[in-house]
């Protein structure tokens, strides 16, 4: 049994952009697992934009984090002690766990992950909720068909990259919008997006979109909202579909205004639909199998930005709002070696 443990709690609720002061580190002891429990050493920890919503007290589709309580998120780890018949030391598992170096939890809170299919970090990325979000949002709401133009915002992030590649697999022409040249270069050269736009480098995003989408926009997979989405909405074709996945541009705003969308929707007869990946929970098995098959056939790629060290979890989270990450932002907390430190 390791002796020392550390955890991160929400130290206060931010107004606007959060900062390091909203997170506090606490030293705690490692709790020995009781019957039916396992002790899991964190290997990779996922930081996600939606967690910003949970830092506020506002009602949403997930409950707010409580002040002075441990923050939770998706973690891949290794079982280091087990009082469960389902797991033994050395098993690699994932689950919604605390931002802790070690979690002692009920065995039902984790499931095994298979390193022979993909590296552990992929289970917090293309083979996890990000891949599933792209898969269901794009295919169930966006429904692209061959030859259509699909625009993705936040295209160089974890969800955006997956959505763009799946749209390519459906034969669509894919245009990705992201915030740096490094990101747009990656999308074009590595992921074969047809066109890309760096929204920070163009003087007029509408004009850039007109050039990149000469036949208009049939599907807009929206990860960001705000001015980027306002511009895409001016380019919609008749009967366009808009899966609204995220609105990261507004997560730190205390006030946000924008154009009214109703006239645009009436004129284009476009369908706009928000969704939460959990809406498709009953079909996760299907989505996971499809994503794993595409990955093993070399039809899908994934990218990750890994920050090393538990002490850097807040910094990695905050970096999501300044565009620090290419692909999925993860924190590597421990090496995946069997045993304890
Ligand atoms: N509906 C669901 O169930 C569900 C599930 C997972 C994620 N999401 C949402 O999907 C979106 C993407 O999530 P992710 O995990 O893949 O994150 P991500 O895209 O990997 O990371 C966030 C990216 O957002 C971009 N960004 C930050 N501020 C922005 C702004 N003001 N305007 C435009 N872009 C901005 C940054 O890239 P740039 O450099 O390009 O600006 C940053 O790298 C998020 O909005 C998230 O909340 C929804």
Supply the pTM of this predicted model. 0.97
Q: How far is the CA of 171 from the centre of ligand 1 (A)?
A: 24
User: Contact 154/223 with Cβ under 8 angstroms?
Assistant: yes
**pLDDT the model gives residue 340:** 40
Between CA 248 and CA 198 the distance in angstroms is 17
- pLDDT (tens digit, 9 = 90+) per residue, 196-253? 999 999 999 999 999 999 999 999 999 999 999 999 999 999 999 999 999 999 999 9
Q: Which of 106, 57, 49 is nearest to 74 (CA)?
A: 49
Nearest CA to ligand 1 atom 46: 246
Query: Tens-of-pLDDT digits for all 341 residues of the chain?
Result: 888 999 999 999 999 999 999 999 999 999 999 999 999 999 999 999 999 999 999 888 899 999 999 999 999 999 999 999 999 999 999 999 999 999 999 999 999 999 999 999 999 999 999 999 999 999 999 999 999 999 999 999 999 999 999 999 999 999 999 999 999 999 999 999 999 999 999 999 999 999 999 999 999 999 999 999 999 999 999 999 999 999 999 999 999 888 999 999 999 999 999 999 999 999 999 999 999 999 999 999 999 999 999 999 999 999 999 999 999 999 999 987 643 44
Does the beta carbon of 277 lie inside 6 Å of ligand 1? yes
Q: How far is the CA of 325 from the centre of ligand 1 (A)?
A: 10
CA 22 to chain centre: 21
Atom in ligand 1 nearest the alpha carbon of residue 274: 1
User: Coil, strand or helix: which one is 38?
Assistant: strand
**pLDDT the model gives residue 223:** 98
**pLDDT the model gives residue 256:** 86
Does the beta carbon of 64 lie inside 6 Å of ligand 1? no
- pLDDT (tens digit, 9 = 90+) per residue, 117-130? 999 999 999 999 99
Cα dihedral 209→48→274→126 (10° resolution): 80
Between CA 189 and CA 36 the distance in angstroms is 48
Q: How far is the CA of 327 from the centre of ligand 1 (A)?
A: 10
Query: DSSP strand E in the chain: where?
Result: 4-10, 23-29, 37-46, 72-82, 92-98, 102-106, 110-112, 149-153, 173-178, 195-198, 217-221, 236-244, 271-274, 304-308, 328-332
Supply 201's token pair.
């480098």
**pLDDT the model gives residue 230:** 98
Q: Which of 203, 163, 197, 161 is nearest to 180 (CA)?
A: 197
| Residue 139 DSSP one-character state | I
| Residue 84 DSSP one-character state | S
Atom in ligand 1 nearest the alpha carbon of residue 275: 1
In DSSP terms, 239 is beta-bridged to none
Q: How far is the CA of 47 from the centre of ligand 1 (A)?
A: 11
Phi-psi sector, 146: left (phi>0), alpha (psi -120 to 50), beta: beta
**pLDDT the model gives residue 337:** 66
Does the beta carbon of 155 lie inside 6 Å of ligand 1? no
Atom in ligand 1 nearest the alpha carbon of residue 137: 1
Q: How far is the CA of 125 from the centre of ligand 1 (A)?
A: 13
Nearest CA to ligand 1 atom 29: 249
User: Contact 177/217 with Cβ under 8 angstroms?
Assistant: no
Between CA 189 and CA 212 the distance in angstroms is 16
Does the beta carbon of 229 lie inside 6 Å of ligand 1? no
Nearest CA to ligand 1 atom 37: 323
User: Contact 170/186 with Cβ under 8 angstroms?
Assistant: no
């Amino acid at each position: 049994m390791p002796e020392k443990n550390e955890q991160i709690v929400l130290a206060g609720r931010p107004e606007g952009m959060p900062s390091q002061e909203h997170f506090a580190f606490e030293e705690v002891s490692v709790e020995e697992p009781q019957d039916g429990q396992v002790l899991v050493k964190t290997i990779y920890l996922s930081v996600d934009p939606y967690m910003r919503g949970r830092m506020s007290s506002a009602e949403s589709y997930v409950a707010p984090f409580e002040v002075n309580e441990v923050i939770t998120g998706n973690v891949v780890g290794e079982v280091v002690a087990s009082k469960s018949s389902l797991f033994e030391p050395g098993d690699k598992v994932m689950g919604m766990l605390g931002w802790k170096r070690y979690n002692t939890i009920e065995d039902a809170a984790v499931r095994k992950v298979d390193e022979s299919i993909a590296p552990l970090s992929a289970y917090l990325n293309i083979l996890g909720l990000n891949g599933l979000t792209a898969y269901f949002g794009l295919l169930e709401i966006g429904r692209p068909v061959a030859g259509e133009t699909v625009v993705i915002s936040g295209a160089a992030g974890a969800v955006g990259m997956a959505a763009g590649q799946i749209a390519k697999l459906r034969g669509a022409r894919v245009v990705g919008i992201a915030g740096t040249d490094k990101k747009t270069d990656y999308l074009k050269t590595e992921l074969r997006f047809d066109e890309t736009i760096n929204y920070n480098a163009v003087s007029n995003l509408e004009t850039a979109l007109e050039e990149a989408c000469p036949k208009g926009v049939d599907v807009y997979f929206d990860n960001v909202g705000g001015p980027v989405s306002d511009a895409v909405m001016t380019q919609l074709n008749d009967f366009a579909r808009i899966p609204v996945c995220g609105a990261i541009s507004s997560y730190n705003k205390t006030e946000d205004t924008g154009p009214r969308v109703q006239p645009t929707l009436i004129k284009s007869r476009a369908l706009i639909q928000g969704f939460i990946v959990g809406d498709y929970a009953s079909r996760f098995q299907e989505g996971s199998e499809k994503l794993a098959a595409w990955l093993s056939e070399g039809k899908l790629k994934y990218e990750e930005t890994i920050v090393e060290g538990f002490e850097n979890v807040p910094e990695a989270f905050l970096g999501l709002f300044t565009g620090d990450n290419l692909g999925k932002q993860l924190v590597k907390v421990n090496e995946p070696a069997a045993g304890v430190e």
